[in-house]
Structure 1
Amino acid sequence: MTRHEADVVVVGGGGMGSAAAWRLAGRGADVVLLERFEAGHVRGASHGASRIFRLSYAEPVYIRLAQEAGRSWRELEAAAGVSLLTVTGGVDHGRTADLRPLAEAVEAAGAPGEWLAPEEAAERWPGLRYDGKVLFHPASGRLHADDALSALQAQAVRLGAVVRHETPVTSIAVRGDDAVEVTAGEDVYRAKRVVVAAGAWAEKLLGGLLPLPPLRVTQEQPAYFAPLGEVAWPSFTHHLDDASLKATGFPSGVYGLGTPGEGVKAGFHGTGPVIDPDERDFRPEPVQLRLLREYARAWLPGVDADAFTPISCTYTTTPTSDFVLDRVGPVVVAAGFSGHGFKFVPAVGRILADLAITGERPDARFALRRPPVGA
């Protein structure tokens, strides 16, 4: 058995763990990042060529976090010398969805959107059909997830962090308020803090250590559709109410965005089958894939619904879809990003560094023990 010493061990080399390592190393901490799989793997939730970046939330806490993340993505781009965030604009639409709270929230945060008639939106972005009035968000765009992960880890290493892939953690043991041992095979890492950002494996690693909320792990079924011609694509969210869902058979609303070199990505949100992350089959889920193609035929006139590439990814979802960002003793946890977390990656990295170094906590909605709604 080999023993190692560090200030902080980060468990999980996806977006959140890599951002934590970057921010911690930037503050002078001696950091080791342990990732169970090889670099560039596709078993988690941080791989692929595209994720939506947007400020369009109805909750001010998420708007502020997205605004911070936008500045931090630019900081990372400058440090790494790569382009990660491409501003394309984004649209929300849905005839029966009340988008006014969304519009009011972003306006109050100083990032107002613009209301468009469906005909005007169709002139700008003819690849989409629009369901009622359209809310346009000029600051929205696309993040390159694979490149972001590589940049975060490279910058963490540049600042002194050690990154070890193919190093699965098997146990975490608390030895005191400022002492924790992390075991990975024959190696034991002793540190003052551990940051656990293990995605779909969070409950397996932390179930006996922390009072985690229920975490629902699903295998989601988005797809890339081949575009018909060269047209601009905003990121988009089509909101569907219960009556619309019943009439169409769709399991949820739909999100999407153009992805250069891949096609137009579209998917339902958080509706895949519950799975064990160690027992995934990665096979397309036929019912959801059929419904997604039906959606593309009806609402995406700019794609060929019969020319598609299925994608397999995971969501780890909390009951409220709020993240878990908290600390108990020497254990910091980042979990439950519920299919909408990647845009916030560098801001979450800062929060995790705060929790590990100073104990400063973020908004109470991210706590392990959350106050009752309305409290």
Structure 2
Amino acid sequence: MTLDSQYVVIGAGLAGAATAWQLAKAGHEVTLVERTRPAAADGSSHGSARIFRYPYADLLYTELVVRARAGFDELEAGSGRQLITPTGELDFGSVRNPRALAAVLEVAGVDHELISAEVAQQRFPQLAIDTEALWHPGAGVIDAETTVNVMVEAAVAAGARVLTSWPVDGVTATTSGYTVLAADGRSLDPERVVVAAGGWLPTLLDRLPLHDGFRASLPPLEISQENAFHFPYADPDQAWPTLIYEDPEILTYALPGGRDAQFRGMKLAEFNAGRKMASAVDQDGTIDPAARDRAVAYVKRHLPGLVPEPYAETTCLFTNTPTEAFVIDSVDGITIVSACSGHGAKFAPVTGELAAAAATGDLAAVPAVFRPATGESAGFAARANSRRVN
């Protein structure tokens, strides 16, 4: 059998495109296959508004964001396109714990400032702020779709092949590697496979030739259909930061909306509060009226600088692990990449680095907590869900 390429990467969202780019940049022969088109509208990497931010309760993630920023800088320099629009970010609310987040940023060397509620209110009169807040100027808004396209272009420039409208139906083992089968009977014969299928991963898992021990080690994946709402600015000339707010009743994130919402207002959503599903195939794109009501009520209470009537609304997919940790692990030439849980976009370039390392056999380069089969024993159970946010 003649191999089509060394690697087939399944899925051209942020994680898959980043992996293909990193593999191709390292000189490997790569074919990237996508069910429809890169950054498809029914996946998790579409649109032009995702938060780029540094604060995490876990230093590991903050340090990975620092590495990811270097990757975004490289992509921007190579493409001449802006992928992250600077806005700065404000974290506040009675449960958000800005001091703990600030302590992590201090260790990581990320510029930040703890400010009182009074100072925050003076700086941001369009908000209603009643707690201490963390301000960090390095935050911004990621254009997710453009980032995917730039990474795909960079992969192609480095020699990768891209096949669109190529829905994968399964993978079988061969004497020399694997056969990747399309739903219409087409096939590819690579040496190794990377599966970065986002919300379609649960559907594909049973169609991969994984040994029982590796399969059993993978955490359960839960897909959620999230609701996001765009609220118009009361003053279109007022500059807004990205926001994360948490109190005992609600955890929300908000950010200036991108071109797909005409730049007219803020995109706002609750974190991981959508309808739960077994797979992306179960999504229906229907907005939850109760979610809309909660978003409107939140805007009325906390964001007086917005008109509390959404002018646009959409759904998107989260692929969640129980701890919101990523999965980047490999066995026998198959690498599983599930880097989302609603907070994966900002890590895209470094996710590609880690997935490429795993795919080429350098599992030690991947944090052990992301390797449920080959990393720390019970690594997933060891880190509690810290509500990471976008």
TM-score (norm 2): 0.89
Residue 248 of structure 1 corresponds to none
SS at match of 1:194: strand
Match 1:269 to one of 256, 268, 271: 271
The runs of 5 or more residues in structure 1 that have no matched partner are 246-251
Whether the aligned pair in 1 keeps the contact of 2:98 and 2:114 (CA below 8 Å) is no
CA shift for structure 1 position 4: 6.0
CA shift for structure 1 position 279: 2.9
CA shift for structure 1 position 204: 1.2
Whether the aligned pair in 2 keeps the contact of 1:179 and 1:190 (CA below 8 Å) is yes
Residue-by-residue CA offset, 1:264-286 (whole Å, 9 max, x unaligned): 01100111011241132111111
Residue-by-residue CA offset, 1:90-136 (whole Å, 9 max, x unaligned): 11101344332211111011114211122322232222221300111
SS at match of 1:278: helix
Identity %: 33
Residue-by-residue CA offset, 1:302-332 (whole Å, 9 max, x unaligned): 1111143111101010000100011011101
SS at match of 2:67: helix
Residue 367 of structure 1 corresponds to 371
Question: Residues 127 and 371 of structure 1: is their aligned pair in 2 closer, same or farther, counting only changes over 3 Å?
Answer: farther
Whether the aligned pair in 1 keeps the contact of 2:129 and 2:302 (CA below 8 Å) is yes
Match 1:281 to one of 284, 292, 304: 284
Which has the higher mean CA deviation after the structures are superposed, 121-130 or 146-155?
A: 121-130
Match 2:254 to one of 256, 264, 267: 256
Segments of 4+ in structure 1 off by > 4 A? none
| 2:245 paired with 1:238 | yes
Residue 225 of structure 1 corresponds to 231
Partner Cα distance (1:12, 1:73) in 2: 20
Question: Residues 217 and 336 of structure 1: is their aligned pair in 2 closer, same or farther, counting only changes over 3 Å?
Answer: farther
| 2:128 paired with 1:129 | yes
Partner Cα distance (2:294, 2:2) in 1: 52
Partner Cα distance (1:341, 1:360) in 2: 20
Residue-by-residue CA offset, 1:133-189 (whole Å, 9 max, x unaligned): 01111211111111111111111111111111110000112336x612211132221
SS at match of 1:274: strand
Correspondence 1:12-161 to 2 at 5 A: 12-161=11-160
Whether the aligned pair in 2 keeps the contact of 1:10 and 1:32 (CA below 8 Å) is yes
Q: Match of 1:18, as an amino acid?
A: A
| 2:166 paired with 1:167 | yes
Whether the aligned pair in 1 keeps the contact of 2:253 and 2:269 (CA below 8 Å) is yes
SS at match of 1:313: strand
Correspondence 1:327-342 to 2 at 5 A: 327-342=330-345
Partner Cα distance (2:168, 2:310) in 1: 40
Q: Match of 1:237, as an amino acid?
A: I
Partner Cα distance (1:179, 1:200) in 2: 25
Residue-by-residue CA offset, 1:31-51 (whole Å, 9 max, x unaligned): 111110134521110011111
Partner Cα distance (2:186, 2:377) in 1: 39
Q: Could you say what the CA RMSD is over the residues aligned between the two structures, in angstroms?
A: 1.9
Whether the aligned pair in 1 keeps the contact of 2:13 and 2:38 (CA below 8 Å) is no
CA shift for structure 1 position 235: 1.0
The runs of 5 or more residues in structure 2 that have no matched partner are 384-390
SS at match of 1:281: coil
